Structure 1
Amino acid sequence: MNRSTLFALPLFALALAGCSSTATTQMASAPVVVQQPQPVVAQPMVPTSAQTVQTARLTTSIANGFVDASALNQMTAKDSNEANSAQFYALQFGRPGAPRQWAGDKGTTGSVAVGPYVRVNNLDCRDFTHTVKIGGTDFVKKGTACREQNGNWNVVNGAA
């Protein structure tokens, strides 16, 4: 085949395609039925583990023996909130020996270090050390906390 044949062949095919019939056909269509959406009935929800954890965090308080009482008297609301959060997350999720740091108002800082989980009377327990630094002074509280059935952590043995 020569070049002109190779070039003309596709043009010839296009020309033949243009000669096809363009008549339209009519089709019968069925009526369209629109259904109303059904109402959703709300069922009581079972709290997820994340919701249970959030509830437990809010009810675990450093005022219950997690922080030295002398430091607690000098801490602001923000200091307490940060310390509560660090204490809970260290106990709940922390790796043994890896302290969780926190920072509050006016240079107040702290850290919470935990030990491994131990099982006592069917409860998960951990040793902890919570250090609070206020104005250059370190306040250290060591103890053991256990997680109750409701998810709250409570100090069962604390020393200054």
Structure 2
Amino acid sequence: MPTAGKLLGAIFFAALAYLTAELFKPSVPEGTSFGNFSLYVAAIGLGSGWFVMGPRAPEGGMAQAISAGLQAALTTAFFALLGFGIYLMLGKALRKMYKGPFEAITGVFELMVENLFLVLTSPQVMAALLVGGPLCGIAVHKLVRRR
């Protein structure tokens, strides 16, 4: 059932995810084609805000809002890394770079770890996730509580 918390969570975390994706792009090696990467990550953020932050927006106090915001931001990051890893693996698989399906599946996780290191070494991306997530959580909580 749609609620104000779910709608606001979806909007705030889609915007945060888009911003974070744009901040991530300079840390990737040159020549990487992104296409609609930022929009896909924003869609993941939208889902994370709707399903993770939204239901918990009106509950508890400030600590729960911070916790839910951080969890929504990290959930977005995880699924973005997973989706990007699958996308890169499919590109490699079509170029016959894997010997079999098991190697391709493990390739997804290797690509996730490679991109995770890029995220962890980018202070802008880490700040967006670790500061922006809780701030979005607080904003959603405050706006939902204001009736």
Q: TM-score, normalised by structure 2?
A: 0.35
More helix by share: 2
Taking structure 1 as the reference length, what is the TM-score of the superposition? 0.32
